[in-house]
Chain A
Amino acid sequence: MKITSKRSLLIAILGICMAILLLISMSGESQAGPSKPEEPPANETPPNWSRASTLFTENIHQILPSKLTAANLPPPVKDPCLHCHISGEETGLWTPLVRWIMFGGAGLIFAFGIYRSSSIWVTRKPWKPLLSRTADWFDERYEISDPLSKFLSKPVPNFARRWWYCLGGITAFLFVVQGLTGIMLAFYYKPTPDQAYASIQFIETQVNYGSAVRMIHHWSANGMILMCTAHMIRVFIMGAYKKPREFNWVSGVLLLLLTLGFGLTGYLLPWDQRAFWATTVATEIGAAIPVIGDLVLVFARVGWDVAAETLTRFYALHILILPLVTVASMGAHFLMVRRQGIAEPL
């Protein structure tokens, strides 16, 4: 107890020192800081905002009137270009961020030292680390530690540690990768025929790491189909679908079909010639079904042709409906594996 109270005293002193440093730096800044900048003369010609669209290619200072001299400098423009944060030209953000992290961290350490000292003082008990404290708090209310330890201590048979048993896990991880990169792409993608193509161009040329994220999404999609098929072949050859795992196989086939559905709906989204005509012929395969063929075609394309409504429908399927159904099916798939165990090979 003596040691813990000593350590908490040390942390509190460290925090106080940080706070004093912060105060000194703040007061120094307010003294040395510039006085209120002068307003520019009213008869000055305004900036030529009609050229604002050139922000991506030109320096921000180039669009200001050219007759400004060093003696007649306007106050610095404060963050005139929001896009520059996206395209990476703006670097002024980092100084306040670093300042926030430094002094905010110092403040947190200070507050933690005060809390720790007062807690030891009030309870007269040794300090318990925050992590186990939080765990105990939740366990007291939700009684999660018993089922969790049961879940974590379940034995995994040695035969299930060969490499061909991890193909399904790789598929699941690739689905997570697809979800993350897909969310990143959805921030910038616009699902209309007028803007879809341009928004993908924007992602590839302007957005930071946009082309990398799109590349990962593209190849991870192909990898997911390959890994899904490989997992299915492994399960089929080893006869792991047999009693009592019939429905696990059914849910697996459903997941393969959903993956193919992701591929079909996602391929249209760039809205280039390849995407447009690939979707046209792929939906024509559905139209060949007897009796309900036309219905399938009209339902898939929202009309007789691939058009704007097809794009929005495929987009909704791709980012909302298919992920929801897939997550539900994956949950069922994993629960069944967990419950029934991994099939033993002969």
Chain B
Amino acid sequence: MAEIDTSTKENSVPFYPVHVSNEAKVVLGISVIAIVIGLIGLFSPVGLGEPADPMNTPAHVKPEWYFLGLYQLLKYISKTAGAVLPIIGVLVITFWPFIDRKPDQSKRSYRNRAIGVAAFMVILIAMTIWGEVS
């Protein structure tokens, strides 16, 4: 790993005011987007469905979109596996730094991990879309 001396002026900027003002611009941009979304909300609110009725199950019951892929997986594999696999997945992701301990030697490892992430995301997005349309 190439050592970069961050204390020199050529390779770094001071946290205040340069970096703080850069971050403030990002914050301002996000705030503007949030206010625009709020203005849209004044004219077309998020809205509500029918009031909850435990006696009446709707035809297409779905969880939130970020659990939709998992929910779709659970429909097609056995119940136990469908619950155990995500837990193992989360545990593996949580402790991944202790599994992959070798320092990066080249950009090749970036590419390998990017391919892995892309494959995972494609599967996840496909499962989510499948869950949405089914």
Chain A residues with CB below 8 A from B12, complex form? 155-158
* Those of B45-86 within 8 Å (CB) of chain A: 45-54, 56-58, 61-67, 70-71, 74, 79-80, 82-84
A-B pairs under 8 A by CB, number: 209
Please determine whether A272 and B101 come into contact, CB atoms closer than 8 angstroms: no
A270–B51 Cα distance when bound, in Å, is 9
Please determine whether A211 and B84 come into contact, CB atoms closer than 8 angstroms: no
Chain B residues with CB below 8 A from A215, complex form? 37-38, 40-42, 45-46
Please determine whether A242 and B117 come into contact, CB atoms closer than 8 angstroms: no
Total residues of chain A contacting the partner, CB 8 A: 77
Please determine whether A290 and B84 come into contact, CB atoms closer than 8 angstroms: yes
Chain B residues with CB below 8 A from A212, complex form? 38-39, 41-42
Chain B residues with CB below 8 A from A260, complex form? 66-67
A166–B34 Cα distance when bound, in Å, is 17
Q: Return B61 CB to nearest CB of chain A, in Å.
A: 4
Could you name 5 residue pairs across A and B whose Cβ atoms are closer than 8 Å? A158-B11, A169-B26, A237-B114, A281-B62, A285-B67
Residue of B40, B51, B70, B117 near A273 (CB, 8 A) is: B51
With both beta carbons as reference points, the residue of chain B lying nearest to A245 in the complex is identified as: B97
B130 within 8 A of A: no
Interface residue ranges, A against B (CB under 8 Å): 151-159, 161, 166, 169-170, 173-174, 177, 193, 197, 200-201, 204, 209, 211-216, 218-220, 222, 225, 233, 236-239, 241-243, 245-246, 249-250, 253-254, 257, 260, 263-264, 267, 270-282, 285-286, 288-290, 293, 305-307, 341, 344, 346
A212–B58 Cα distance when bound, in Å, is 29
With both beta carbons as reference points, the residue of chain A lying nearest to B80 in the complex is identified as: A290
B30 within 8 A of A: yes
Chain B residues with CB below 8 A from A344, complex form? 1-2, 4
Q: Return A164 CB to nearest CB of chain B, in Å.
A: 12
With contacts A156-B13, A170-B26 known, is A249 near B49, CB below 8 A? no
